[in-house]
Amino acid sequence: MMRTILNKGHRMAKLKYRTISKRTVDALSVEDRDAVFWDDRIPGFGVRVYPSGSKMYVVQTRHRGKSRRVTLGRHGVITADAARKKAAETINRIKSGEEPVERGSVTVAELAARYLEEHVDVRCKESTQRMYRSVVERFIVPAYGGVAVEDVERKHINALHLDLRHIPYQANRALEIGSKLFNLAEEWKLRTGGNPCRYVRKYREEKRERFLTEAEFRHLGAVLNEMEAAGRLPVYPAAAIRLLMLTGCRRNEIVELEWKHVDLDSGELKLGDSKTGVFLEDYADHAVCYV
């Protein structure tokens, strides 16, 4: 049986009912959007699959008219059988009016999964979601994901921060996201004793922005023309690169540009969610940015 519903963030996801096991979960995949696949034996037990390949076990049930969804853990960190058992226990706790999980029993990997599901996916733009998810999955979970939230100490944070010292930008993002994780852990009553990320000093970050020189700018334009004329570069990617050159827009602002944002008569790109303002471009002459 299959049905389609509107999930969080007003995105459509196909919910397919099947018996969840290691074999079936290993085989699940999605392309553009995450989707939840629900179990046909325990109502409310499912696995959420992301385009990145990450898979999180979840449980959802209702109590006194309110729906509660709880992230149980990451596939590979916990087994399908353990997630099924945990789902049944969580449903019983919620229906009894108790907190879904006991303090001290939640690992950082499980906290991170809940953070991504209930905070990042709800409050952040897709580009920010991808960045946060990458930091969590590449750095935080492998470093101390198996440690109980209540047991994490500053030594765990310092060890990861030190390991990433050769990439200071990523080290600082891991520290920031870790700090947010433990603030939410206290808010969700999963931890006491303060934030272990406090007092860990960030690394100095070198400025990453560099503008093309006039010679580089002209060379890039010439290469685009040559590649397009030779049929080695399709027209749309070439046009996107020229827009980036002439407007100063961010990559996603051009890649995700829609016709409703384009005013050909006035030569304006009206970007409602832009951090850099409204851009005017004139291919024949110049580009101007109003911030």
Residue 17 burial by CB count (10 A; 0-12/13-18/19+): exposed, middle or buried?
Answer: middle
- The whole-model pTM stands at 0.53
At residue 100 the predicted structure's pLDDT band, cuts being 50, 70 and 90, is: low
Domain spans, the chain: 2-100, 214-290
The pLDDT of residue 73 is 79
The pLDDT of residue 101 is 60
Q: How many Å apart are CA 47 and CA 39, to the nearest integer?
A: 8
210: pLDDT strictly greater than 80: no
Residue that wins the pLDDT comparison between 273 and 266: 266
Residue that wins the pLDDT comparison between 253 and 202: 202
103: pLDDT strictly greater than 90: no
User: In this predicted model, what pLDDT tens digit does every residue of 143-201 receive, in sequence order?
Assistant: 998 888 989 999 999 999 999 999 999 999 999 999 999 999 999 888 888 999 999 99
The class level of CATH for 2-100 reads: alpha beta
The pLDDT of residue 9 is 38
Q: How many Å apart are CA 46 and CA 15, to the nearest integer?
A: 9
3-state secondary structure the chain: CEEEEEEHHHEEEEEEEECCCHHHHHHCCCCCCCEEEEECCCCCEEEEECCCCCEEEEEEEEECCEEEEEEEEEECCECHHHHHHHHHHHHHHHHCCCCCCCCCCCEHHHHHHHHHHHHHHHHCCHHHHHHHHHHHHHHHHHHHCCCEHHHCCHHHHHHHHHHCCCCHHHHHHHHHHHHHHHHHHHHCCCCCCCCCCCCCCCCCCCCCCCCCCHHHHHHHHHHHHHHHHCCCCCHHHHHHHHHHHHHCCCHHHHHCCCHHHEECCCCEECCCCCCCCEEEECCCCCEEEEC
Residue whose token pair is 């303090």 = 103
The pLDDT of residue 157 is 97
Which residues lie below 8 Å from residue 9, measured CB to CB, with a gap of 6+? 121, 122
User: In this predicted model, what pLDDT tens digit does every residue of 13-26 receive, in sequence order?
Assistant: 444 567 899 999 99
Residue 262 in tokens:
């384009």
User: In this predicted model, what pLDDT tens digit does every residue of 222-267 receive, in sequence order?
Assistant: 999 999 999 999 988 888 898 888 887 888 888 888 888 888 888 7
3: pLDDT strictly greater than 60: no
Most confident of 25-29, 51-55, 102-106, 116-120: 25-29
